[in-house]
C-alpha cells in the first residue's frame, strides 16, 4: 500500500496527470495519478487512504511550495489536473458515502469584478484538500452569495476581488451577509487586500495565497 | 538650471539627474474618471475627450509627462451602437450587436458578450489563421478590448502634441506578446500550455511579436519620447524566472531593440513580485523599469534595485498606490513618499511614480501631495 500512496502523492506533486502526459519530462511514459489511483484501488488500497494519505497531503505540499514561490501557476495548475484525474476514480466512493468530503466551500468573485484566476486557484487547492467546492463564478451579487449560503448550511465562504473599486462591493456583501448569517465564516482574498481591510469589513480571514485559506478552513 | 517637464523626464530616462525628481504617474481609467467625471463612454471611446482629459490631469497634478494608455480611437465609434442608455449619474450602458458595455466613473468598462466565443485549446490553434498578423486590438483586461482603428492608430499623439507642444514628455504604450497569448488561449489554458506545448506557444508568441514590432515601430514615428510595455503577467505571481526567460524575454527583446533603434526609450511595466528577475528584465535591453511594487503588493526594495540595475536602467516607481495612497493616513503617505524620493535621489535615473496605476478612489488631495513633496524634498 505504501508504495501506491507514495507514488500517487509524487504524481500529484509533480503534476503527472496520466501516462500520456508529456509533463514532467523526467516522468514521460510513466503512469500518472490517474493510472496509479485506479491500480491502487484494484489492489485493495482503500479510497479513504488514497484521499487522506496521498492526495490531500500532496496538495498541501504543492500549496506550501506555491506560497514560498518555489512553484508557479503553470505547475500548480498541472498538479491540480493530476489531483482531479485521481479524484475521478474516487467519485463512486463519495456517492456511496464510503468516504466523505470535509465540508463545502462556496466561492465567488464579487460584484463588478470579472477576474477569476485567483479564485480558481483557491478553488483547486481547497478542493484538493478534500472539500466540495461550489463555484459561483465572477461578478457575484450579494443575493447570490446569500442564496448559496442558504443552500449549503455550514459552508465556508470565500470571496475574491482584484480591483480596489470592487473591494467596496466586497465590503457591502460581507456586511449584508453578516446581518443575515452573523456566524458565517468568510475568507477574503485578492491582490489589493490586506489583513486590516479584512478585519475592518468583518471577514474572518484575509488569505494572501491559497494555502493560507486551506490551512484556515482545515483548522475549523 | 531650470528644466521643462519634458527635459526633466528625458534626463532621468538618460540616467542623468535634472533639477529635481520628475513626477509622472500612470492613471488607471477609473482614476481618470473619478477626477474628471466625464461622460464615461465618451471618455473611453472618443480620442479628443481622452486626450483633453490626459492633458488636464497632467497639468492639474503637476506631472512632467503623459502616458497614453489607449491609442487607436475611432472617430466612427458610434456607428455600430444599437442603443446608448444613460443610467444614473456617471453610469451608461451601450449595446452593440455582439455585446453590452457598462461604463461608469468607477473603473474600466464591464463587457458582456451575447455569444462569448470559447477559447480554442492550444492544439486546435492554427497559427496561420487564428493568430492575427496585424495587431488591431489592445487586450486591456479580462474580456475587455480596445480596438485600434487602422486608419487612425496614433492620432492621439498628434492631438497631444498640438495641445502641449514639447512641454511634457509623452509616452505610448504597447502590450507584451505574453499578454496576447494569455488572452488568446484564456489565462489558465495558456499557462498550462507553456508546459504542455511550449513549442506551439513560441510559434504564437513569435507571430504576435512580429505584429507588435510593426505597431511599435510605427508608434515611434509619432512625437513620443518613450514606449511603455505593459507586461503584467510576467512576474513571480504567475511564472518562474525560467519561464520568463523562455516565453517573455526573447520576444519582448525583439521589439525593444527596434524601439531603441528608433531612438526612443522603452520601459517594462510588470506588476507585483519581480525581485527575482530584475537582472533578466535588464537583459531585455529596455532603458527602464516601471512598478517595482514594494511589500506587500510586491517584493522590490528600491535601494537594492538601484544597486542591481540602476547603472543601466532608469527606474519609474515605486509608490504603493493602495497602501501608501489609498488607505494610508496623511502621515504615513508622506512618510512613504518621502522615503521613496530620498532613495530615488540617491539612485540613478529616477522618475517618481506610483508602482502600478493610481487606484481609482485615490483622492485629489492625496495626489496633490505628490508635487508638494517633490517640491519639499525632490531637488537634486
The whole-chain average pLDDT of chain A stands at 94
- β-sheet bridge partners, residue B81: B96
Decide which of A42, A61, A96 is a domain's last residue: A96
The C-alpha atoms of residue A146 and residue A24 are separated, in whole angstroms, by 42
Q: Are A138 and A114 a contacting pair, CB within 8 Å?
A: yes
Strand, helix or coil at B46? coil
Q: Which of A191, A193, A196 to mutate against chain B (most B CBs within 10 Å)?
A: A191
Q: Is the same domain home to A73 and A137?
A: no
Per-residue pLDDT tens over the stretch B157-208: 999 999 999 999 999 999 999 999 999 999 999 999 999 999 999 999 999 9
- Say what the pLDDT of residue B143 is: 85
Pull the grid cell for residue A33. 495519478
| CB-CB under 8 Å, A72 with B195 | no
User: Crossing angle of helices B177-185/B187-196, nearest 10°?
Assistant: 110
CB proximity B177 to A under 8 Å: no
- Say what the pLDDT of residue B248 is: 98
Length of chain B as a residue count: 380
Cβ contacts below 8 Å, chain A against chain B, sum to 71
Pairing of strands B144-147, A186-189: unpaired
Tally of CB atoms within 10 A around A168: 18
CATH for A126: 3.40.50.280
Q: Is the same domain home to A144 and A66?
A: no
Number of separate domains in chain A = 2
Alpha carbon separation from B117 to B99, B184, B185, B261 (Å, rounded) = 12, 11, 11, 39
Cα A72-B316-B61 angle, rounded to 5 deg: 125
CB proximity B106 to A under 8 Å: yes
**Residue in A closest to B272 by C-alpha:** A191
Q: Which residues contact A71 (CB under 8 A, 6 or more apart)?
A: A62, A65, A79
Q: Is the same domain home to A76 and A49?
A: yes
Q: Is the same domain home to A187 and A111?
A: yes
Decide which of A96, A121, A137 is a domain's last residue: A96
- β-sheet bridge partners, residue B137: B147
| CB-CB under 8 Å, B326 with A75 | no
Q: Is the same domain home to A81 and A155?
A: no
User: Taking 70 as the threshold, does the pLDDT of residue A151 lie above it?
Assistant: yes
Per-residue pLDDT tens over the stretch B113-164: 999 889 999 999 999 999 999 999 999 998 899 999 999 999 999 999 999 9
Q: Is the same domain home to A137 and A77?
A: no
Decide which of A52, A68, A96 is a domain's last residue: A96
- Say what the pLDDT of residue B142 is: 84
Q: Are B240 and B273 a contacting pair, CB within 8 Å?
A: no
| CB-CB under 8 Å, B276 with A69 | yes
The confidence band for B85, taking pLDDT boundaries of 50, 70 and 90, is very high
Per-residue pLDDT tens over the stretch B213-257: 999 999 999 999 999 999 999 999 999 999 999 999 999 999 999
**Residue in B closest to A21 by C-alpha:** B196
CB proximity A170 to B under 8 Å: no
Q: Are B204 and B148 a contacting pair, CB within 8 Å?
A: no
Give the domain extent around A166: 104-219
SS3 breakdown of chain B: % helix, strand, coil, rounded to 5? 45, 20, 35
Q: Are A86 and A10 a contacting pair, CB within 8 Å?
A: no
Q: Is the same domain home to A79 and A184?
A: no
- CATH 3.20.20.210, applies to B5-76+124-377: yes
The confidence band for A197, taking pLDDT boundaries of 50, 70 and 90, is very high
DSSP string of chain A, one letter each residue = -HHHHHHHHHHHHHT--STT---SGGGTTS--HHHHHHHHHHTT--HHHIIIIIIHHHHHHHHHHHHTTSS-HHHHHHHHHHHHHHHHHHHHHHHHTSS--S-EEEEEEBTT----HHHHHHHHHHHHTT-EEEE--SSB-HHHHHHHHHHSTT-EEEEE--STTHHHHHHHHHHHHHHH-TT--EEEE-TT--HHHHHHHT-SEE-SSHHHHHHHHHH-
Q: Is the same domain home to A119 and A206?
A: yes
The confidence band for B45, taking pLDDT boundaries of 50, 70 and 90, is very high
CATH for A88: 1.10.1240.10
Q: Where in chain B are the domains?
A: 5-76+124-377
Q: Is the same domain home to A88 and A36?
A: yes
Per-residue pLDDT tens over the stretch B53-71: 999 999 999 999 999 999 9
Q: Which of B27, B30, B33, B106 to mutate against chain A (most A CBs within 10 Å)?
A: B106
Pull the grid cell for residue B156. 492621439
Q: Is the same domain home to A134 and A109?
A: yes
Rg value, chain A, Cα: 18
Q: Are A33 and A90 a contacting pair, CB within 8 Å?
A: no
Q: Is the same domain home to A90 and A109?
A: no
Rama region for B355: left / alpha / beta (φ>0; ψ in -120 to 50; rest) = alpha
Q: Is the same domain home to A78 and A25?
A: yes
Per-residue pLDDT tens over the stretch B11-38: 999 999 999 999 999 999 999 999 999 9
| CB-CB under 8 Å, B188 with A164 | no
Amino acid at each position: 500500500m505504501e508504495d501506491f500512496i507514495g507514488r500517487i502523492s509524487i504524481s500529484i506533486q509533480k503534476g503527472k496527470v496520466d501516462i500520456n502526459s508529456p509533463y514532467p519530462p523526467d516522468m514521460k511514459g510513466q503512469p500518472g495519478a490517474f493510472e496509479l489511483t485506479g491500480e491502487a484501488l484494484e489492489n485493495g488500497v482503500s479510497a479513504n487512504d488514497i484521499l487522506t494519505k496521498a492526495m490531500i497531503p500532496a496538495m498541501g505540499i504543492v500549496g506550501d511550495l506555491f506560497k514560498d514561490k518555489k512553484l508557479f501557476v503553470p505547475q500548480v495548475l498541472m498538479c491540480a489536473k493530476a489531483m482531479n484525474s485521481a479524484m475521478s476514480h474516487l467519485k463512486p466512493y463519495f456517492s456511496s458515502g464510503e468516504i466523505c468530503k470535509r465540508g463545502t466551500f462556496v466561492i465567488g468573485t464579487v460584484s463588478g469584478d470579472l477576474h477569476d484566476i485567483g479564485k480558481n486557484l483557491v478553488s483547486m487547492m481547497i478542493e484538493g484538500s478534500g472539500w466540495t467546492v461550489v463555484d459561483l463564478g465572477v461578478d457575484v451579487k450579494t443575493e447570490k452569495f446569500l442564496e448559496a449560503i442558504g443552500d449549503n448550511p455550514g459552508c465556508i465562504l470565500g470571496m475574491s476581488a482584484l480591483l480596489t473599486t470592487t473591494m467596496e462591493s466586497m465590503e457591502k456583501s460581507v456586511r449584508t451577509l453578516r446581518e443575515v448569517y452573523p456566524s458565517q465564516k468568510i475568507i477574503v482574498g485578492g491582490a489589493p487586500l490586506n489583513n486590516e481591510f479584512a478585519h475592518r469589513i468583518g471577514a474572518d480571514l484575509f488569505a494572501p495565497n491559497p494555502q493560507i485559506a486551506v490551512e484556515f478552513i482545515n483548522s475549523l | 538650471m531650470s528644466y521643462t517637464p519634458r527635459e526633466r523626464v528625458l534626463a532621468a530616462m538618460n540616467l542623468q539627474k535634472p533639477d529635481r525628481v520628475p513626477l509622472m504617474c500612470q492613471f488607471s481609467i477609473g482614476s481618470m474618471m473619478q477626477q474628471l467625471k466625464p461622460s464615461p463612454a465618451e471618455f473611453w471611446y472618443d480620442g479628443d475627450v481622452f486626450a483633453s482629459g490626459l492633458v488636464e490631469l497632467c497639468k492639474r497634478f503637476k506631472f512632467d509627462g503623459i502616458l497614453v494608455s489607449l491609442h487607436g480611437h475611432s472617430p466612427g465609434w458610434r456607428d455600430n451602437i444599437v442603443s446608448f442608455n444613460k443610467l444614473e449619474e456617471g453610469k451608461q450602458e451601450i449595446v452593440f450587436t455582439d455585446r453590452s458595455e457598462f461604463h461608469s466613473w468607477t473603473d474600466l468598462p464591464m463587457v458582456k458578450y451575447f455569444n462569448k466565443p470559447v477559447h480554442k485549446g492550444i492544439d486546435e490553434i492554427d497559427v496561420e489563421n487564428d493568430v492575427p498578423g496585424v495587431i488591431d486590438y489592445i487586450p486591456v483586461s479580462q474580456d475587455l478590448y480596445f480596438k485600434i482603428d487602422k486608419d487612425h492608430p496614433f492620432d492621439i499623439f498628434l492631438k497631444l502634441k498640438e495641445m502641449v507642444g514639447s512641454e511634457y514628455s509623452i509616452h505610448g504604450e504597447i502590450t507584451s506578446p505574453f499578454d496576447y497569448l494569455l488572452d488568446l488561449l484564456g489565462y489558465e489554458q495558456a499557462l498550462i500550455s507553456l508546459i504542455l506545448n511550449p513549442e506551439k506557444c513560441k510559434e504564437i508568441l513569435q507571430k504576435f511579436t512580429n505584429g507588435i514590432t510593426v505597431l511599435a515601430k510605427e508608434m515611434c514615428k509619432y512625437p513620443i519620447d518613450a514606449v511603455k510595455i505593459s507586461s503584467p503577467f510576467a512576474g513571480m505571481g504567475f511564472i518562474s524566472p525560467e519561464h520568463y526567460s523562455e516565453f517573455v524575454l526573447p520576444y519582448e527583446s525583439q521589439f525593444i531593440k527596434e524601439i531603441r533603434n528608433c531612438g526612443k526609450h522603452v520601459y517594462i511595466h510588470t506588476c507585483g513580485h519581480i525581485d527575482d528577475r530584475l537582472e533578466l528584465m535588464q537583459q531585455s535591453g529596455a532603458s527602464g523599469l516601471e512598478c517595482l511594487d514594494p511589500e506587500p503588493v510586491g517584493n522590490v526594495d528600491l535601494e537594492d534595485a538601484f544597486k542591481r540595475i540602476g547603472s543601466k536602467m532608469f527606474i519609474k516607481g515605486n509608490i504603493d498606490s493602495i497602501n501608501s495612497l489609498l488607505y494610508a493616513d496623511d502621515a504615513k503617505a508622506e512618510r512613504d513618499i518621502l522615503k521613496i524620493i530620498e532613495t530615488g535621489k540617491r539612485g540613478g535615473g529616477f522618475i517618481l511614480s506610483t508602482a502600478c496605476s493610481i487606484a481609482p478612489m485615490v483622492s485629489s488631495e492625496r495626489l496633490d501631495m505628490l508635487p508638494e513633496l517633490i517640491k519639499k524634498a525632490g531637488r537634486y
